[in-house]
């Protein structure tokens, strides 16, 4: 069977909220979608089969971490990332720019060479240029490839953010050239500009001149408030190209997602559901639950009576509390899976309400609850 080209179509709109489909040769991705994070070729504490059972249709993995361990050559020898991790879902790979900023205490940005940094694992020096980032992602056989960008920390320094944005545009041009013609894959541009509306619009304008299969909002989830993030999205929502998917990188909480969908975002990823699951925090339709709290020691009700999938309700809060307080591995497994399942139930409900024209009511009901 011939491979399908990457494509995106909008099925329904409710004001700026959009329900759509991304078509890849590995399958259809219904949007708005949430991508569980498989940073190191695994979604922590979960099997790929369980991830699929939650309704997840795409996962995210990371160029920076896989470049360091186990290394691109080792993954290529296995036939690419999908074969390596036994995953037949589409995979999006981050370019590594965010991790260069967040993990390395010793890094230098060079306009031509890219990011020069020391590994957070063993201190080994690496060079990550736009061309090298694209080469690695194509070697991983990613379905959606992200351009190499510079992701600055939150700053009120306009000149600093402008310089960083302009560098990201330059790297975007080089990323596009290095990507070449790969009709069965997609290349997304990353909009930078911090909290400055004019810089965000300038970044998007320059990226649209280059031309990408999708457009991501980068440089958020770096310490700004939710209100600041929503303001950035409000200021650019009418400018984002309607015919392309819109991706908000590294976000976020359920209320972040609800507010961003209202402002035209189609794709999300975040480590929050998996990281929270490993530390005892559960997301439910009735709000958040810290299962380690002593008040659950004699609570034999399920974690979330509204949970519909995976028979997760056969485990009581009493039992889960016991697992966490005895440091049992099963605790992380069950709560992580519960959280990913909840996120996918949330995305499904969002899509349904957009189709029904009731998204605003759904948003207002849950924005302060979740």
Cα gap 66→83, rounded to integer Å: 14
- In DSSP terms, 126 is beta-bridged to 117
Residue 265 has which token pair? 């975002």
Active site residue 50: no
Q: Which of 346, 348, 335, 351 is nearest to 369 (CA)?
A: 346
Q: Which of 275, 274, 244, 288 is nearest to 344 (CA)?
A: 274
* Bond before 32 cis per omega within 30 degrees: yes
Active site residue 364: no
Concatenated DSSP letters for 18-37? EEEEEEETTEEEEESEEE-B
For the chain, what is the radius of gyration of the CA atoms?
A: 20
- By CB atoms closer than 10 A (0-12, 13-18, 19+), residue 240 is buried
Cα gap 160→178, rounded to integer Å: 27
- By CB atoms closer than 10 A (0-12, 13-18, 19+), residue 335 is buried
Cα gap 346→34, rounded to integer Å: 9
**In the block, residue with structure tokens 């039992």:** 319
Cα gap 218→199, rounded to integer Å: 13
Residue 334 has which token pair? 């069950």
Pick the catalytic residue from 143, 266, 269, 304. 269
3-state secondary structure of 10: strand
Pick the catalytic residue from 14, 94, 266, 304. 94
Non-local (6+) Cβ contacts of 44 within 8 A are 274, 278, 332, 336
Cα gap 67→74, rounded to integer Å: 10
Catalytic residue numbers read 94, 269
């Amino acid at each position: 069977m011939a491979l399908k080209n990457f494509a995106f179509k909008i099925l329904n709109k409710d004001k700026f909220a959009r329900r759509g489909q991304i078509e890849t040769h590995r399958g259809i991705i219904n949007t708005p979608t949430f991508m569980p994070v498989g940073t190191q070729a695994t979604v922590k504490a979960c099997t790929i089969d369980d991830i699929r059972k939650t309704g997840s249709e795409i996962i995210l993995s990371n160029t920076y971490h896989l470049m360091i361990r186990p290394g691109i050559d080792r993954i290529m020898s296995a036939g690419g990332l999908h074969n390596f991790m036994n995953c037949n879902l589409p995979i999006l790979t981050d370019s590594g720019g965010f991790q260069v900023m967040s993990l390395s205490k010793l890094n230098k940005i060079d306009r031509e060479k890219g990011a020069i940094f020391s590994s957070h694992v063993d201190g080994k020096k690496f060079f990550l240029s736009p061309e090298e980032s694209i080469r690695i992602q194509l070697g991983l056989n990613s379905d959606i490839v992200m351009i190499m960008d510079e992701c600055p920390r939150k700053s009120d320094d306009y000149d600093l953010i402008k310089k960083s944005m302009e560098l990201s545009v330059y790297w975007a041009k080089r990323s596009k050239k290095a990507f070449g013609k790969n009709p069965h894959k997609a290349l997304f541009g990353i909009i930078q500009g911090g909290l400055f509306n004019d810089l965000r619009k300038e970044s998007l304008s320059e990226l649209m001149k280059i031309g990408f299969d999708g457009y991501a909002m980068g440089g958020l989830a770096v310490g700004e408030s939710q209100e600041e993030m929503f303001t950035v999205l409000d200021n650019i929502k009418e400018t984002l190209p309607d015919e392309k998917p819109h991706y908000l990188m590294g976000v976020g909480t359920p209320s972040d997602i609800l507010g961003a969908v209202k402002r035209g975002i189609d794709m999300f990823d975040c480590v929050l559901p998996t990281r929270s699951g490993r530390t005892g925090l559960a997301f439910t339709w009735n709000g958040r639950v810290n299962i380690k709290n002593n008040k659950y020691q004699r609570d034999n009700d399920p974690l979330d009576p509204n949970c519909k999938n995976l028979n997760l309700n056969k485990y009581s809060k009493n039992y889960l509390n016991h697992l966490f307080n005895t440091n049992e591995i099963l605790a992380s497994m069950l709560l992580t899976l519960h959280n990913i399942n909840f996120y996918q139930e949330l995305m499904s409900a969002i899509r349904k309400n957009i189709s029904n024209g009731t998204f605003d009511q759904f948003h207002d009901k849950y924005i302060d609850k979740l």
